[in-house]
Amino acid sequence: MKDEYDTLLERVYKNIPKHEGSGERFELPDVEVLEQGNKTLVRNFGDLCDVMRREPAVVSKFLSKELAVPSSIDGKRLIFNGKVDSRLLVSKIQDFVGKFVKCKVCNRYDTHISSVDRNTKVLICEACGARAPVRL
Ligand SMILES: [Zn+2]
């Protein structure tokens, strides 16, 4: 399914000069996944959220929904109440970054999410000032 927002944004931003390869890199730490009985632990979840600069509750909600496994936050750890394939988990975290951290205009990661009102959130880029609606 093609995201309508993406198409719209591509059109809106088509005429803005692109900021190519600033050389700035965004590196997520390796995701430390641990299976414990019927549970799956992400040991460095807090660190991952720090690097992404997103609320752990927001990230865990996204992951639980995507993976269809309930989770709870325990200090710096995230605990899934079920088995989760670690490669799938990593790919979902990358999805989150692509959708909710990376600026679609300049491809940087210096962004934050701001609530316009109860139902509307926007991803704001601190590098280029772009604002994009997000569903989170
Ligand atoms: Zn930007």
DSSP reduced 3-state for 113: strand
Q: Ligand 1 center to residue 19 CA distance, Å?
A: 8
Report the C-alpha gap between 128 and 136 in whole angstroms.
Answer: 22
- pLDDT at residue 78 above 50? yes
Q: Identify any residues that bridge with 124 across adjacent strands, giving them in sequence order.
A: 112, 131
pLDDT band at 17 (very low <50, low <70, confident <90, very high): very low
Q: Taking the model in full, what pTM does it have?
A: 0.79
- Mean pLDDT, all residues of the chain: 88
Q: Which amino acid is at 105?
A: V
Q: Where exactly are the structural domains of the chain?
A: 29-101, 104-136
DSSP reduced 3-state for 120: strand
Per-residue pLDDT reduced to its tens digit, 32-64: 999 999 999 999 999 999 999 999 999 999 999
pLDDT band at 27 (very low <50, low <70, confident <90, very high): confident
CATH architecture of the region 29-101: 2-Layer Sandwich (3.30)
Q: Ligand 1 center to residue 116 CA distance, Å?
A: 19
Average pLDDT over residues 85-102: 96
Q: Ligand 1 center to residue 110 CA distance, Å?
A: 8
Looking at beta carbons, which pairs linking 110-114 to residues 24 or more positions away fall under 8 Å?
A: 111/53, 112/53, 113/54, 113/58
Nearby residues of 84 by Cβ (< 8 Å), 6 or more positions away: 33, 40, 67, 69
